[in-house]
Amino acid sequence: MTVHFVHLLDDLRRRSLRMASQVEDMLEEAVEAAFQTNQALALRIVARDEEVDAEEVGVETEVIRLLALYQPVGRDLRLLATILKVNSDLERVADCVVNIAERARHLAVQELASQSEDLRALFRLTRQALRSAIQAYASENSDLARQVIHDDAAIDALYGQIVRQMVAVAPRQMPQIGGLLDLLSVAKNLERIADHATNIAEDVVFLATGAIVRHRRPEQ
Amino acid sequence: MVTVSRPVAATQTLNLASLVSARPETIIDQNSSPVIRTEDLTIRYGSFAAVRNVTLDILPKQVTAIIGPSGCGKSTFLRAINRMNDFVDGVNVSGRLMFLGQDVYAPGTDPVALRRRIGMVFQKPNPFPKSIFKNVAWGPQVNGYSGNLAELVEESLRKAGLWDEVKDKLDHSALTLSGGQQQRLCIARAIAMQPEVLLMDEPCSSLDPIATARVEDLIDELKSQYTVVLVTHNMQQAARVSDRTAFMLMGQLVEVDLTSRLFTTPHDPRTQDYITGRFG
Amino acid sequence: MSQADSAIDWQPVQFRPRLAARRVLGGLFGLACRLAALAAGLVLGCLLWHVWRQGGHLLSLRFLTSFESTLDPLASGVKSPLWGTVWLIGLTTILAVPVGIAAAVYLEEFAPRSRLMQLLHLNIANLAGVPSVVYGLLGLTVFVRWCALGRSVLAGAAALALLILPVAIITTREALAAVPQSIRQAAYSVGATRWQTVRDHVLPAALPAIMTGMILALSRAVGEAAPLIVVGAVAYSRTVPTSPLDGFSALPIKIFNWSELASPEFVQLTGAAILVLLGVLLGTSALAVGIRAWYQRRRLW
C-alpha cells in the first residue's frame, strides 16, 4: 500500500503547488487592476477566488483522509502537516488579493497609486516574498525560506513608512480621503500577504528540518 | 450557603508549565543511569553476525522499543540480555552487556539468578500445561519464595489485569484461556518473580486487535514499576507504547531517540525510509 | 493505474488437473491400505482362533493355579511359569524403567550436543537390534556368574532389563524431544534451573508418551524365551519364586517346552499356555493404559 500512498502524497503536493501558483498569478493581476483600474480583471479575480476556496476545502479533506487511513510518520507526516497549513495560508492570501482587486473599482486609487512609489515598492517586495516562499515550498529549501522570514522585517518597515506618510499627507488632502483609505487598504493587504508568505516559509523550515520557528523575533 | 476561602500563601506562584505538561511521556528523566547498557555488543551464530557492535542504554522505568525489519537482530539482542541465547548451540558473544553495572557474561555470573531479575514474555503465549495458579506460583516456588504464595499470585494477576477473569477458576488449566488471556497470564507469571526488567519479544504478534490493545494498556501501566524492553515489528505499536525507540538494521543500531522525535524527525535516512515504509 | 500493474502477466497459466485419474489413484491406494490392514487382522484372527481351538477348553482357574503334572498332562497348570513371568515383569520394570528414563533424561536434556553424544545415540540404536540371546549370554556371564546371583529370577530380570533398555531409552528420548521448546524457555525465563524445568515441566508433559514406550518395551520382554533359557530358567518347576534370588520358570519357556512334545495333550496345553501369555500381555498393557488415563485425568498440577 505504500506505493499507492506515495503517489497520493505526491499528487496532493502538486495540487497544493498548483494552488500556490494560481494565487501568485492572482496577486499580479490584482495589483495590475489596482494600478490601472481594470474592472473586468477585478471581476475575474473574484471568480478565481471561489475556485481557490473550493480547492482549499478539497486539499484539506484529502489531508485528513490520508492521515486517517495511512497514519504516516516522519517526513510524510511533516509534509501533510505543512500542506495543511500552507493550504490555509494560501486561501487567506487569495482573500487579501480579492480585497486589493476590489479597490480597483475606485478610480481614486489609480490617481494616487501612480504617485506612490512606496506602494509600488511594497508590491514588489511582497510579490518577491510570496514567490520566494512558494519556491522554497516547492523545493523544500530551508535556506531560501529563512531568507523570506528575514526579509519580512523590511516589508513591515516599508508598510510603516507608507502609513506615516499618509497620516502626514491626509490633513492636506481631505477631499481625497476615500482614495487615501483605499490606498491604505491595499498597503495593508499587501503587508498581510507578506506575513502569510512568512508563515509559509516557517512551515517550509519545519518540513525540511522538523524545527518549529514560529513566533521568534529575528535578532536584528 | 457557607463559602470557605482558602488563604493563598504569599509564596505560592502559578506555574503554567506544570499545568500544561500533564502528559506523563514528556516527563522523562533522560539523565538517570541506565539499567542495562551494552558496549560494542556482537553476537555470532557460527560465522554469521546477528548483532554487530551495538551500544545501547536502557533507561529505568521506561518502555524502550526496538524496531527493525525481520532478521535485523532485535530478538537476538533481546535474548542476550537475560542469556536465553545460552541455549542455542554455537553462539558467541563479544563486547559487554551490563545489568545494573555488572557484566552479564562474566564467568562468575549465574544466569539462573539473572533470569530471576530479568523476566521475559514470548511471542507466542506459552503458559505451562498446568493450572492458572500453578503457572504464576511455580517460578516463586522453585526460587524459594518465603511469603504468602496465594497473595503473590493474586497480586500478580491483578497487575496483569487478569484477576477478575480468573479468580474463580484458578485451578483450571491455563490452556482453557483465550490467546489474549494466556499472554496476560504469561505476563503475570513474569512479574510474579518481581523482576527489575521485563523483556517482551513481540508479545502481541499472535493476538487479535482487542487483546493487543489490552496488553498495550497493560504495558503502559507496568512501566511505572518495571523497566520494559519491547521488541516489535509493528511500528505503530512502538509509537503508541514506548518512550524511547531504537531502530536496528542488519544487526546494527542505526538510531535511538525519544519516540516522539524518532517518528517525526528521524536523523538517519535509513530510519526515515523504514518508518515511512519505503522498505522493509 | 500504477506502473506496477502492467508488469504482471495476467494470462491464465495452463493446468492439466487430471482430476479423475487422481481420484482413482487415491481410491486405489486407500483400498490397498484397507486390504493390508484386513489381511493383518485376518492373520491375527486366524492364529487366535487356531490357538483357541487348540487349547481354549483347558482355560480355567484351576489351570492358572495348579502346577504341572507329569502323571496326567491334562491336569497340568501353569502356576509356576505364570508366577515366574509375573515376577519377571515386576523386576524388569523396577530395573529398566528408572534407569531408562534417567539415561534418556540425561542424554536429551543435560548432555552437550557433541559428536561423541551422536555416536552414543547411534550405538544405543544399534543395541536395540541385537538378538535377545546375546543379552542372555551377557546376563549369564555378568549377573549369574560375576554378580553371583545364580540362576535366579533377578538375574533373568536383569538380562531382560538390559534387553529392553535401548528401546526404552530411545522412545523416552523421543517423548522428551516432543515436548515443545517453548515450555522449557518459559521455565528458564522465570529463573529455574535445568533440573527444575525437567522435573516439573518436561517429564510430566512427556510422561504419557514415555509410558507408552515402556509398555511396548515390556511387552517385548515378556515374550522372550531365549535369554531366559541361557540365564537358566527351568522348563519344569513345581515351585513359585518367593524371593528375587529363587529359581524360576516363565511362560514363553513353558510354551516352547510343551510345543516340542508331540502328543495331543501337549498340543492342547501349548494352546492354553499361549492364551495365558496373551492374557498377561493384554493385562499389562491395559494396566499401563489405565494408569496413563488416570494420570492424564488427574493431571497432577
How many angstroms separate the CA atoms of A93 and A20, rounded? Answer: 10
> Tens digits of per-residue pLDDT, C119-138?
999 999 999 999 999 999 99
Contact C205 B190 (CB under 8 A): no
Q: Indicate whether C18 belongs to any domain.
A: no
Is C166 domain-assigned?
yes
Q: What is the pLDDT of residues C184-241, one digit of tens each?
A: 999 999 999 999 999 999 999 998 889 889 988 998 888 888 999 999 888 888 888 8
Q: Which of C150, C144, C139, C137 is nearest to C96 (CA)?
A: C139
Whether B265 sits inside 8 A of A77 (CB atoms) is no
Mutation target for B interface from A2, A6, A69, A75: give the one with most B CBs within 10 A: A75
Alpha helices in chain B, H assignment, sequence order: 16-20, 74-81, 111-117, 132-142, 149-159, 163-166, 179-191, 209-222, 235-241, 259-264, 269-275
Amino acid, single-letter form, for residue B165: E
pLDDT at A217: 58
From the list B178, B185, B131, the residue with the least C-alpha distance to B156 is: B185
The CATH number of residue C165's host domain is 1.10.3720.10
In a domain, C27, yes or no: no
CA C132 from centre of chain: 14
Please tell me the distance from the alpha carbon of residue B160 to that of residue B137, in angstroms, as a whole number.
Answer: 14
Strands (E), C55-120: none
The per-residue pLDDT for A112 is 59
Residue B157 lies in a domain: no
Which residues on chain A are in Cβ contact (under 8 Å) with B239? 73
| CA gap C201, C183 in Å, rounded | 7
Nearest to C73 by CA among C262, C287, C277: C262
Q: Closest Cα partner for B237 from B271, B198, B202, B206? A: B202
CB-CB neighbors (< 8 A) of C180 in chain B: 126
Pairwise CA distance, residues B261 & B26, whole Å: 11
Asked if C250 and C81 touch (Cβ cutoff 8 Å), the reply is yes
- Give the CA distances from residue A12 to residues A15, A65, A85, A184, A197, in Å, rounded to whole numbers and listed in that order: 5, 11, 13, 37, 20
Q: Across the interface, which of B236, B271, B276 has its CB nearest the CB of A76?
A: B276
Q: What ipTM describes this predicted complex?
A: 0.86
Contact between residue A213 and residue A196 where contact means Cβ atoms under 8 Å apart? no
Q: Which three cell numbers stand for residue C187?
A: 521455565
Q: Does A150 touch chain C (CB under 8 A)?
A: no
Report the neighbours of C using a cutoff of 3 or more CB pairs below 8 angstroms: A, B
Q: Tell me the CATH number at B113.
A: 3.40.50.300
At A151-183, the pLDDT tens digits run: 999 999 999 998 988 888 888 878 777 778 888
Domains in chain A, CATH or no CATH each = 2-209 (1.20.58.220)
Q: Given an 8 Å threshold on Cβ–Cβ distance, is A77 in contact with B263? A: yes
- Residue from A73, A79, A80 to probe the interface with B (highest B Cβ count within 10 Å): A73
CB contact under 8 A, A73 and B265: no
Is the residue at C55 inside a domain?
no
For residue C171, being part of any structural domain is answered with yes
Nearest residue on chain B to C196, alpha-carbon basis: B142
pLDDT tens, B169-197? 999 999 999 999 999 999 999 999 999 99
Q: How many domains does one find in chain C?
A: 1
In a domain, B238, yes or no: yes
Contact A76 B265 (CB under 8 A): no
At residue C9, the pLDDT reads 67
**Chain-chain contact of B113 with C191 (C-beta, under 8 angstroms):** yes
Contacts (Cβ under 8 Å, ≥6 apart) of B174: B127, B128, B129, B130, B131, B132, B135, B182, B185
Q: Give residue for cell 560465522.
A: B47
Q: Is C7 within a domain? A: no
Inter-chain Cβ pairs, chain A and chain C, closer than 8 A: 4
pLDDT at A114 (0 to 100): 54
pLDDT at position B254 = 96
User: Has residue C25 been placed in a domain?
Assistant: no
Q: Give the residue from B136, B127, B124 showing the smallest Cα distance to B203.
A: B124
Q: What is the pLDDT of residue A173?
A: 77
Rounded distance between C-alpha atoms, residue C189 and residue C296, angstroms: 26
How far apart (Å, rounded) are the C-alpha atoms in residues A91 and A83? Answer: 12
Those chains having 3 or more beta-carbon pairs within 8 angstroms of chain A are B, C
Candidates C189, C199, C203, C295: best to mutate against B (most CBs of B within 10 A) is C189
Assigned domain for B227 exists: yes
Dist. CA C101–CA C173, nearest whole Å: 8
Closest chain A residue to B277 measured between Cα atoms? A2
- Residue B120 belongs to a domain: yes
pLDDT tens string for chain A (220 positions)?
678 899 999 999 999 999 999 999 999 888 777 777 667 787 888 889 999 999 999 999 999 999 988 889 999 999 999 999 999 999 999 999 999 888 766 655 556 555 577 888 999 999 999 999 999 999 999 999 999 999 999 999 999 998 988 888 888 878 777 778 888 888 999 999 999 999 999 999 999 998 888 876 554 4
Q: What are the chain C neighbours of B173 within 8 Å (beta carbons)?
A: 299
- Pairwise CB contact (< 8 Å): C4 & A7: no
Q: Which residues of A touch B265 (CB under 8 A)?
A: 74, 78, 209-210
**Residue C253 Cα distances to A133, B238, C85, C232, C237, angstroms:** 106, 73, 10, 11, 11
User: What residue numbers bound the domain in which B85 lies?
Assistant: 31-126+198-275
Low-confidence stretches of chain C (pLDDT < 50) are 1-2, 300-301
State residue B5's pLDDT score. Answer: 43
Number of domains into which chain B is organized: 1
Partner B contacted by C69 (CB < 8 A) = no
Spatial distance between the Cα atoms of A181 and A103, rounded to a whole number of angstroms: 10
A3 touches chain C (CB under 8 A): yes
Contact across the interface for C200 and B190, Cβ inside 8 Å = no
**B277 contact residues in A (CB cutoff 8 A):** 2, 5
Element (H, E) at B40: strand B36-45
The strand order across the sheet containing B102-103 reads: B48-58, B36-45, B91-99, B102-103
Q: Could you tell me if residue B229 is inside a domain?
A: yes
CA separation (Å) from C146 to B15, C7, C24, C138? Answer: 94, 82, 64, 11
| B177 assigned to some structural domain | no
Q: Is residue B145 part of a domain?
A: no
Does residue C15 sit within a domain? no
| pLDDT tens for chain B, residues 1 to 280 | 444 444 444 444 444 433 433 334 444 456 678 999 999 999 999 899 999 999 999 999 999 999 999 889 999 999 999 999 998 888 999 999 999 989 999 999 999 999 999 999 999 999 999 999 999 999 999 999 999 999 999 999 999 999 999 999 999 999 999 999 999 999 999 999 999 999 999 999 999 999 999 999 999 999 999 999 999 989 899 999 999 999 999 999 999 999 989 998 999 999 999 998 887 5
Contact list in A for residue B275 (CB cut-off 8 A) is 73-74
Contact C183 B171 (CB under 8 A): no
- C-alpha B220/C-alpha B63 separation (Å) is 8
Show the domain range for C218. Answer: 64-298
**B interface residues, A as partner, C-beta within 8 Å:** 235-236, 239, 263-266, 271-272, 275-278
Does any domain span residue B162? Answer: no
Q: How far apart are CA C165 and CA C191, in angstroms?
A: 34
Q: Do B122 and C113 touch (CB under 8 A)?
A: no
